[in-house]
Amino acid sequence: MRTVAELLFEEFAARFARGEHPDVRDYLERAADDRDELAALIDGFVAASHAPAPSEETLATFAELVPTEESAPPMLAARVRQGLRRSQVVGTLASWLGVVPEKEEKLARYYHELETGLLDPRGVEAIVWHHLARIFGAGIRSLMLRPNEPPPAMVAAYYRHSDDLALAAPAAPAPSPEVAEPERDEIDRLFTGSGER
């Protein structure tokens, strides 16, 4: 006599073979005490099977989530166009900038933020732009500076005005002495720096 897990597995496998997308969680809930046995059967089956072709709905959803070259930030689009992985760009930058291996993860985070438009490109030091231009071409810095951004002088004026307003507001409590700001290092300076740009 077949177990509950075996019966549910046969049903799952038949639906999967027809190109359906049966919900594994639903089957595991239905298996109750035979859950572990069913999980092992499904796991082995799915690992050995070819995934069914995605539905039109899945393809449409995926197309909405994946940026096109026109909608992607310029540096990301340039990297994809050149067929480079992010890790390749980060490794090259680390080598050219003399970044020690222990700091490569931090460099990778900053690069990701810059590439995806989460980091203000105006704070990135000239040496970083020089090396990025070696990878992506001389115009990459100009492409990353969005044309609809206000000029830095306007931003500075806004912050000066904001500072004046902040003086009129009640002072924020002083930070706790045991919570210290992390010390800035060379990677921070290169991507949010204070030097010549």
38 & 110 share domain: no
pLDDT for the residue numbered 196: 38
**119 within a domain of the structure (yes/no):** yes
pLDDT for the residue numbered 157: 45
48 & 82 share domain: no
Q: Do residues 99 and 89 touch, judged by C-beta distance below 8 A?
A: no
43 & 114 share domain: no
Question: In the structure encoding, which two tokens stand for residue 116, read together?
Answer: 């995806």
Torsion angles phi and psi, residue 83, rounded to 5: 70, 30
pLDDT for the residue numbered 154: 42
**Long-range contacts, 79-82 (Cβ 8 Å, 24+):** 79/115, 79/136, 82/135, 82/136
pLDDT for the residue numbered 21: 83
- The dihedral through the CA atoms of 181, 182, 185, 188 has a sign that is negative
Helix (H, G, I), strand (E, B) or coil at 72: coil
pLDDT for the residue numbered 146: 63
**90 within a domain of the structure (yes/no):** yes
**176 within a domain of the structure (yes/no):** no
40 & 87 share domain: no
pLDDT for the residue numbered 60: 75
Cβ atoms within 10 A of the Cβ of 43, count? 11
Question: In the structure encoding, which two tokens stand for residue 196, read together?
Answer: 């010549």
Cβ atoms within 10 A of the Cβ of 185, count? 10
Of 159, 176, 192, the residue at which a domain comes to its end is: 159
Range of the domain at 8: 4-54
Q: Mind listing the pLDDT tens digit of every residue in the chain (197 residues)?
A: 788 899 999 999 999 888 788 899 999 999 999 999 999 999 888 888 776 677 777 777 766 666 555 667 888 888 888 889 999 999 999 999 999 999 999 999 999 999 988 899 999 999 999 999 999 998 899 888 865 444 444 444 444 444 444 455 555 555 555 655 567 889 999 999 754 33
| CA distance linking residue 46 with residue 118, whole number of Å | 38
40 & 106 share domain: no
81 & 46 share domain: no
pLDDT for the residue numbered 152: 44
Helix (H, G, I), strand (E, B) or coil at 17: helix
pLDDT for the residue numbered 135: 93
**In 137-174, which residue ranges form alpha helices assigned H by DSSP?**
140-144, 152-168
81 & 152 share domain: yes
46 & 10 share domain: yes
Q: Do residues 22 and 15 touch, judged by C-beta distance below 8 A?
A: yes
**11 within a domain of the structure (yes/no):** yes
